Amino acid sequence: MRPGNYPEHLRWLLLRSQTFRASLLSFGLLVAAGLCYGSAFSVSELGARASGMGTAFIGLADDGSALVYNPAGIAFQPGAHLEMDNAVVVGLFRFTPSSTPAGQVVPPNGYSNSIKPHFIPLAFMYATKQMSPKITLGMAIFTPFGLSANSTNFNDSDPNLTKFVGRFAGTRVRLESYWFQPTIAYKLKDNLSIAIGPTFVHTHLELDESFLNPLGPDDALSFGRTAAPTVLPGVPVNQAAAIIARMLPEGRSRVAGTANSPAISGGLLWKHAASKTNLGLMYRSSVVNHLSGKASFAFGNQPYALEQYVGSGFLPNAFPNQAITGSFPTPATYGVGFANSKFWNTTFVVDIRMQDYKKFKNVSLDFPINKYSRLPQYLDAAGANNIALSPEKILNFNFRESWNFAFGAEKPIRPNLTVRVGYQFDMSPVVPQSVGPLFPDADRNSFTLGATRKSGNKEFTFFYEAMKFENRVTNVPSNDYQWTNGVYHNFANVAGLAMRFDVTDFSIRKEH
């Protein structure tokens, strides 16, 4: 829907506020930079107030970020509000391999998996407006899934023994999943509300890795078997493959794709006034992202032993750049939350969330040129072709379910100042065989604090989170040839600021 097609009250809410337009610009600049490690690739720090309480907010849900944590909460928010949440992540991600190829040079503190620059900005926006005593509308733009890692600490021309040892399992990943969620909340009773949010999801995925691993059981040997009849005709295939594998350069691949998909969010919030207790439920659907993009392959500009026999065009023809399709699933999220404010003038909150990462079994990529490689345009004069990639590539991950437990409290210490503390335990869904440069993940413990200061019709909220990943030690025999076994040592600092504006009075003036 174009801005001009919105009803008058929403057109004002979304476009005429100078504050919102400034926030929109900030969002566009910040969210483009990438996202952070969470449970695999989940992001739970989607609101500054919630993050100050360890992200336990399903049962409270009383600011704009309720649209994410429990959309039903906006039904109890009178008036009109605009909210902008920003956060910065500073991650320290290091890997020390347990074994390496002979002569490999490993940095004294292990390899860094951190992006450069090391800080990762995030931004989210929320808007709500009560239309009647029973109906409230909202709009949220947020990123519940994201990932950014970079182990490319080398140039293609560097000696192989100085490069990142696990590069054949991946060197760079970037995932961004943008959710655009209009929401309607309805009060069934004075103390009970429900909400639903049909959502548009735009996803961008980018993966980089090295390939043609000369020491692995597949990869270069697999290509060698494909190329054997062309390069060494008459030589037994396996013997020829072993020779070819040792004469190949290292290749670099990049796959990038985007997808547009539907999703849905929902929530329920019940309040018991006598005990000052809330119970909340939330749901966010899984999404199968049907990717469309491009795969590219490069082999550097250094000469290699096989080149003098097959010519410079042999490998580019074997690995042609091409448009691709694929699929990439993200998990559904289920949550229950409790809030109680009866004791010591303090609100206590508890959340339990489950994400069914079992749906994230694999990422499939389809290569159409390889599928039709027997067509005349891909055959040489002798009727043969040397396209090496199979028509489909499956990246297997086989994740398990993830559980998240969050606890927090907030207490007003002055009429215009409230403080918060929280704790979060996040169980990683990444199984040992999938731990590596793309997912150097582990169970994590997070300790948070925050505060809100009110000034007129504005609220300013900040939070800080110390995120300690448990050391992850892997020893999976099938991963030995990729050298991803070892110790993963990760820590992240997260800090954020939110600005919330009550624009109800201005809205009333505009309508009258």
Residue 16 inside a domain? The answer is: yes
> Measured between alpha carbons, how far is 162 from 164 in angstroms, rounded to an integer?
7
Are the C-beta atoms of 207 and 257 separated by less than 8 Å?
no
102: pLDDT strictly greater than 80: yes
Asked if the structure places residue 221 within a domain, the reply is no
- Report pLDDT for 39: 74
Residue 495 belongs to a domain: yes
The candidate with the shortest Cα–Cα distance to 196, out of 206, 185, 204, 207, is 185
Give the CATH number of the domain where residue 341 resides: 2.40.160.60
39-71 pLDDT tens trace: 788 989 999 999 999 999 999 999 999 999 999
pTM across the whole model? 0.85
3-state secondary structure of 218: coil
- Please tell me whether residue 484 adopts helix, strand or coil conformation: coil
Does a structural domain hold residue 73?
yes
Question: Residue 297 is encoded by which pair of tokens?
Answer: 């392959």
Least confident of 215-224, 274-283, 357-366, 485-494: 215-224
In a domain, 135, yes or no: yes
Beta bridge pairs of residue 89: 120, 494
Q: Has residue 219 been placed in a domain? A: no
Tokens at 2, concatenated:
């174009």
Q: Report the C-alpha gap between 64 and 45 in whole angstroms.
A: 14
Domain count of the chain? 1
Residue 474 half-sphere exposure toward CB, CA atoms < 13 A:
28
Residue 413 lies in a domain: yes
Choice among 117-131, 200-214, 338-352, 399-413 with the minimum mean pLDDT: 117-131
Check residues 249 and 58 and name the one with the higher pLDDT. Answer: 58
φ and ψ of 14, to 5 deg: -95, -25
Query: Radius of gyration (Cα) for the chain, nearest Å?
Result: 26
Q: Which helix (H) or strand (E) holds 26?
A: helix 18-31
Q: Which residues pair with 460 in a beta bridge?
A: 453, 499
Lowest mean pLDDT among 77-86, 118-127, 322-331: 118-127
366: domain range?
3-212+249-511
Tens digits of residue pLDDT in 401-448:
999 999 999 999 999 999 999 999 999 999 999 999 888 889 999 999
Q: Do the domain assignments include residue 226? A: no
- Alpha-carbon distance of 350 to 352, in angstroms, equals 7
